[in-house]
Amino acid sequence: MRPSLRFGMLGAAVAAGVLTLSACGPTTQVGGPAVPTISNPAGGSSSTAPPANSPAPPTSGSVTAPPFSPPPRNTLPIPTTEPAPAPPASGPPPNAGPVPPNEVDASGLPAGTPHDVYTENGGRTVGLVVEQSGCREVHGELAGESAGKIQLVLVTVDRSGHGMCPQYVRSVRVSVDLTAPLGERVVVLTVRTDRAN
């Protein structure tokens, strides 16, 4: 094929394409597909028609909210740092009988220490209700027993320094067993503190 004939055919194809586009009207392309421009037959201004499937342009100042997503289903509860509740208080046993105050010598106790002594098991067990905390456990020891008196020692075992201490105070029963019923003997109360090993 001759070069002049080849360029002549190419020119005809380009001219046909231009005619086809101009028949549809002028187009405007701004950052997207070509959009045909509609001319006003009365000679007014022209406007650009958006494609039928394009989304509406956002208005100024509008905010689009992100889609709602529910919280995860397997969430763990947030741990709290509140202290554990104190264990329930303990009072004298239901079948206990009180020892008269004039038969209790509490002069060896710190001021404010409860000293309401009771007996049970026919007077062969003597006890009282005292307070203990998480690191201070209290138990009773029979230090002596005679015809006129018994000596009950309230022993506090201090466990501070051996790990964490629960933060509570509770009432506990402290008692000792006698070799004979208490009768009218005097109960002498004293205290001692031991350090835990």
HSE, CB side, 13 Å, CA atoms: give it for residue 74: 0
pLDDT at 52: 55
DSSP string of 175-187, one letter each residue: EEE-SS--TTPEE
pLDDT at 141: 96
- CA torsion through residues 178, 115, 106, 134, sign: positive
pLDDT at 174: 93
How many residues in the chain?
197
Both tokens assigned to 45: 């201004």
**Using alpha carbons only, what angle is made at residue 73 by residues 71 and 77, rounded to the nearest 5 degrees?**
90
| Alpha helices by DSSP H, 120-183 | none
Q: What pTM value is reported for the model?
A: 0.53
pLDDT at 27: 47
Question: In b/e form, how buried is each residue of 51-89, taking b as 16+ CB within 10 angstroms?
Answer: eeeeeeeeeeeeeeeeeeeeeeeeeeeeeeeeeeeeeee
26: DSSP letter: -
Across the chain, where does the E strand assignment appear? 27-28, 35-38, 47-48, 97-98, 104-108, 117-120, 125-133, 136-145, 149-158, 169-177, 186-195
pLDDT at 67: 74
pLDDT at 197: 77
Give the list of residues 6+ apart from residue 24 with CB closer than 8 angstroms, or none: 36
pLDDT by residue for the chain (197 residues), tens digit each? Answer: 454 444 455 555 554 554 444 444 444 444 445 545 444 545 554 445 555 555 555 555 666 666 777 666 665 655 555 555 545 556 888 899 999 999 999 999 998 888 899 999 999 999 999 988 878 889 999 999 999 999 999 999 988 877 777 777 888 899 999 999 999 999 999 999 998 87
CA-based Rg of the chain, rounded to a whole angstrom?
50
Q: How far apart are CA 122 and CA 17, in angstroms?
A: 122
Q: How far apart are CA 196 and CA 185, in angstroms?
A: 33
Give residue limits of the domains in the chain. 3-43, 97-195
